[in-house]
A and B are shown apart, each in its own frame.
Chain A
Amino acid sequence: DVKVTQSSRYLVKRTGEKVFLECVQDMDHENMFWYRQDPGLGLRLIYFSYDVKMKEKGDIPEGYSVSREKKERFSLILESASTNQTSMYLCASRGRAVSENTIYFGEGSWLTVV
């Protein structure tokens, strides 16, 4: 089974702090994604990466950056956290093959910015 692990499940940070959310997958997947999930808005794509050191902006990249130095690890960075970034963040991964349409999610990171 694919395993996508988000190391921080629950975080409380102060406005202006730098926040790192880490995600690791164990299936050698090329594609990795960061979403945030908010009530009434569903899942929205922040950034995705299709290979090491490659990244693409999603629908809501403002206020975020990402890092993909190793294939198995995709980090989401909030340079200066703000209260409107309080949300649940989901990491996901997917293989490159045409048959691998399914994406696999981590368990989520609940971030509260106060």
Chain B
Amino acid sequence: EDKVVQSPLSLVVHEGDTVTLNCSYEVTNFRSLLWYKQEKKAPTFLFMLTSSGIEKKSGRLSSILDKKELFSILNITATQTGDSAVYLCAVRYYGGATNKLIFGTGTLLAVQP
């Protein structure tokens, strides 16, 4: 069964801490892995990863993919209260006649002042 598993389910940290969010997957015909941040509204796109070992970076956020071990991590350094959100991982893969996208359940991050 194709699946995406995120861990931890939730996390509470203090401002300034560094956090690492995990996403593992089991799919056939992998295409790409995407990270989204969801606050009160719709998910907003963070990163798309297609190649192993190449870090994507945007400010304090970075992410890397390991296609051999089938996982990705999202790092957030020097966390701020504005980083509080649900972080979603999604994997795009070729399933039968079409490309499919499957989401993990998300990691809820709470950053306390």
A residues whose Cβ falls under 8 Å from a Cβ of B: 4, 33, 35, 40-45, 50, 56, 90, 101-108
> Are the CB atoms of A40 and B105 closer together than 8 Å?
yes
> Are the CB atoms of A42 and B45 closer together than 8 Å?
no
> Are the CB atoms of B41 and A107 closer together than 8 Å?
yes
With a cutoff of 8 Å between Cβ atoms, the chain A residues found around residue B36 in the complex are 105
> Are the CB atoms of B101 and A45 closer together than 8 Å?
yes
- Centre residue among B41, B43, B90, B106 by max chain A CB count within 10 A: B43
Given A41-B105, A43-B88, A103-B34, 11 more pairs with CB closer than 8 A:
A4-B42, A35-B103, A42-B106, A44-B103, A101-B34, A101-B92, A102-B34, A105-B42, A105-B43, A106-B42, A107-B42
- What's the nearest-Cβ distance from chain B to residue A56, in Å? 7
B residues whose Cβ falls under 8 Å from a Cβ of A: 31-32, 34, 36, 41-45, 48, 50, 88, 90, 92, 98, 100-106
CA distance A14 to B63 in the complex (A): 44
By beta carbon, the residue of chain B nearest A101 is B32
- What's the nearest-Cβ distance from chain B to residue A109, in Å? 10
CA distance A42 to B88 in the complex (A): 8
With a cutoff of 8 Å between Cβ atoms, the chain A residues found around residue B105 in the complex are 40-42
- Centre residue among A41, A42, A102 by max chain B CB count within 10 A: A42
CA distance A108 to B42 in the complex (A): 6
CA distance A40 to B101 in the complex (A): 18
With a cutoff of 8 Å between Cβ atoms, the chain A residues found around residue B98 in the complex are 50, 56
Q: Which of B41, B45, B88 contacts A102 (CB 8 A)?
A: B45
